[in-house]
Amino acid sequence: MALRTSQLGYPRIGEQREWKRTLEAYWKGERSKERFYEEMKQIRLSHLQKQRDAHVDYIPVGDFSFYDHVLDTALMFNVIPERFAKSPADPLDTYFAMARGSDDGEACEMTKWFDTNYHYIVPEFHRSWVPKVTTNYILQAYEEAKKELGIEAKPVLVGPFTFLKLSKGYTDNEFPQLAEKLVPLYEQVISELYHAGASLIQLDEPSLVTTLSEGDIEQLKGIYRELAEKLPEVSLLLQTYFGSIDHFEQIVSLPVKGIGLDFIHDKGVNLQAIKAHGFPEDKLLGAGIIDGRNIWKTDVRDTLSLLTELQEVVPSEHLLVQPSSSLLHVPVTLKYETKLDQELLNGLAYAEEKLYELHLLKTISNHPTDEAAKQTFEEYQQSVDTFKQAPFRKLTDISTDSDLPTERTHTYEERQGLQEKKWHLPFLPTTTIGSFPQTSDVKRTRTEWRRGELDDDTYDTFVKGKIEKWITIQEEVGLDVLVHGEFERNDMVEYFGEKLNGFAVTQNGWVQSYGSRCVKPPVVYGNVSFEKPMTVKETEFAQSLTKKPVKGMLTGPVTILNWSFVRNDIPNRDVTRQIAKALVEEVKALEQAGIEMIQMDEPALREGLPLKKHEQQTYLDWAVEAFRLATAQVKPTTQIHTHMCYCEFHDIIDSIKALDADVISIETSRSHGELIETFKTNVYDKGIGLGVYDIHSPQIPNVEKMLNVIKQALNVLPAQAFWVNPDCGLKTRTEEQTIAALKNMVTATKKVREEWKVSQ
What is the mean pLDDT of the segment spanning 580-585? 97
What is the mean pLDDT of the segment spanning 599-605? 93
From residue 352, alpha-carbon distances to 47, 52, 301, 348, 366 in Å are 10, 11, 20, 11, 21
pLDDT for the residue 671: 56
Question: Is 318 a member of any domain?
Answer: yes
pLDDT digits (tens, 9 = 90+) for 102-131: 887 889 998 889 999 899 999 999 999 999
**Confidence band of 395 (pLDDT split at 50, 70, 90):** confident
pLDDT digits (tens, 9 = 90+) for 338-357: 999 999 999 999 999 999 99
Specify whether 433 is located in the same domain as 326: no
Specify whether 240 is located in the same domain as 384: yes
Specify whether 364 is located in the same domain as 452: no
Residue 92 has pLDDT above 60, yes or no: yes
Specify whether 346 is located in the same domain as 434: no
**Confidence band of 696 (pLDDT split at 50, 70, 90):** confident
pLDDT for the residue 111: 87
**Confidence band of 676 (pLDDT split at 50, 70, 90):** low
Question: Is 30 a member of any domain?
Answer: yes
Give the total number of structural domains in the chain.
Answer: 2
What is the mean pLDDT of the segment spanning 514-536? 96
**Confidence band of 235 (pLDDT split at 50, 70, 90):** very high
Neighbours of 57 (CB within 10 A): 19
Specify whether 455 is located in the same domain as 379: no
- The annotated binding site for L-methionine is made up of 433-435, 486, 601
pLDDT for the residue 401: 59
Residue 536 has pLDDT above 70, yes or no: yes
User: What CATH number is given to the structural domain containing 445?
Assistant: 3.20.20.210
Question: Is 436 a member of any domain?
Answer: yes
Dihedral angle at the C-alpha atoms of 741, 746, 748, 751, nearest 10 degrees? -160
Give the chain's mean pLDDT: 93
pLDDT for the residue 470: 97
Based on its alpha-carbon atoms, the radius of gyration of the chain, rounded to whole angstroms, reads 26
Choosing from 374, 390, 406, the residue where a domain stops is 390
**Confidence band of 677 (pLDDT split at 50, 70, 90):** low
Q: How far is Cα 729 from Cα 727, in angstroms, rounded to an integer?
A: 7
What is the mean pLDDT of the segment spanning 497-526? 96
Specify whether 510 is located in the same domain as 652: yes
Specify whether 423 is located in the same domain as 323: no
Question: Is 404 a member of any domain?
Answer: no
- The annotated binding site for L-homocysteine is made up of 433-435, 486, 601
pLDDT digits (tens, 9 = 90+) for 711-746: 888 887 788 888 999 988 899 899 999 999 999 999
pLDDT digits (tens, 9 = 90+) for 430-488: 999 999 999 999 999 999 998 899 999 999 999 999 999 999 999 999 999 999 999 99
* Listed residue (586, 612, 609, 608) closest to 599, CA to CA: 586
Specify whether 295 is located in the same domain as 431: no
Question: Is 408 a member of any domain?
Answer: no
Specify whether 575 is located in the same domain as 676: yes
What is the mean pLDDT of the segment spanning 260-284? 97
User: Number of C-alpha atoms within 13 angstroms, CB side, residue 480?
Assistant: 16
DSSP characters for 158-216?
E-HHHHHHT-BSS-GGGHHHHHHHHHHHHHHHHHHHHHTT-S-EEEE-GGGGS---HHH
Specify whether 443 is located in the same domain as 386: no
Specify whether 591 is located in the same domain as 646: yes
Neighbours of 480 (CB within 10 A): 18
pLDDT for the residue 88: 63
More confident residue, 551 or 603: 551
Percent of the chain predicted with pLDDT > 70 = 96
Range of the domain at 430: 414-759
Q: Which residues are marked as active site? A: 696
Angle at 39 between CA 35 and CA 45, to 5 degrees: 145
Angle at 136 between CA 130 and CA 142, to 5 degrees: 165
Question: Is 409 a member of any domain?
Answer: no
Neighbours of 257 (CB within 10 A): 16
Specify whether 655 is located in the same domain as 612: yes
